[in-house]
Amino acid sequence: MELQKNQAWLDDWLADLKANKDYLSQLDQKIGDGDHGNNMARGAKAVEDKLAEKPAENTSDLFMQVAQLLMSKIGGASGPLYGSAFLAMATAVKNSDDLTAIFAAGLDKIKQRGKAETGEKTMVDMWQAAIDALEADDISIDRLDQARDEIIAMKASKGRASYYGDRSVGEMDPGAESSYYLFKNVFKQV
């Protein structure tokens, strides 16, 4: 995979995480513990700082650096989940240039680490929707917006949001929203 394109969507994702820090935390206050935005912004800054100091040599190295920093700098569940995804993607990109396969490897790790499946109102739902779009060659922000609407309509059955039961319906999952930002930027580059 072309390092420059991957660096571009990654840079844009990190910028979105920082720019939307307060919004992500507001989402998390409604159905979580309220720290998602701050945690993701802290991780984004750490990744930016590290890559400015030591630029990635290739896409695998890029994903590996991101994985390590997200796991060490982001608290809560998001650090290990995103970190595990990027770690799996760092390995997958060595064997394939296929975006679908690379992100599917990341999703598999998220599912494994979080013991989550689609339909539970988590980041898994956004990752699956994005992978389905890539697989169908229907790469559009509209497809991600549709997934976002579907996630909002779900009742959470996994994670802290599941404690809210029916009150989670009508609210966006913060991890799915930060994943939306990721794939929105990926889709702009492909």
Helices (H), 55-173: 59-73, 78-95, 99-114, 123-135, 141-153
What is the residue type of 102?
I
State the Cα–Cα distance between residues 166 and 6, nearest whole angstrom.
38
pLDDT band at 70; cut points 50, 70, 90: very high
pLDDT of residue 175: 98
Instruction: Calculate what percentage of the chain has a pLDDT beyond 90.
Output: 97
Residue 121 gets which letter from DSSP? Answer: S
pLDDT in tens, 114-168: 999 999 999 999 999 999 999 999 999 999 999 999 999 999 999 889 999 999 9
Q: How many residues does the chain have?
A: 190
What phi and psi values does residue 33 have, to the nearest 5 degrees? -105, 0
Residue 170 gets which letter from DSSP? Answer: T
With CA atoms as reference, report the closest residue to 90 among 72, 74, 109: 109
pLDDT of residue 35: 95
pLDDT in tens, 83-117: 999 999 999 999 999 999 999 999 999 999 999 99
Region 161-185 average pLDDT: 97
With CA atoms as reference, report the closest residue to 24 among 68, 82, 106: 82
Region 73-84 average pLDDT: 94
Residue 64: pLDDT above 70? Answer: yes
With CA atoms as reference, report the closest residue to 161 among 173, 153, 151, 152: 173
With CA atoms as reference, report the closest residue to 151 among 131, 184, 174, 182: 174
Q: Which fold has domain 3-189?
A: 1.25.40
What is the residue type of 155?
K
| Average model confidence (pLDDT) across the chain | 97
State the Cα–Cα distance between residues 171 and 31, nearest whole angstrom.
8
Residue 1: pLDDT above 80? Answer: no
3-class SS shares of the chain: helix, strand, coil, % to 5: 75, 0, 25
End-to-end, the C-alpha distance of the chain in Å comes to 11
pLDDT band at 75; cut points 50, 70, 90: confident
With CA atoms as reference, report the closest residue to 80 among 91, 72, 88: 72
pLDDT in tens, 2-48: 999 999 999 999 999 999 999 999 999 999 999 999 999 999 999 99
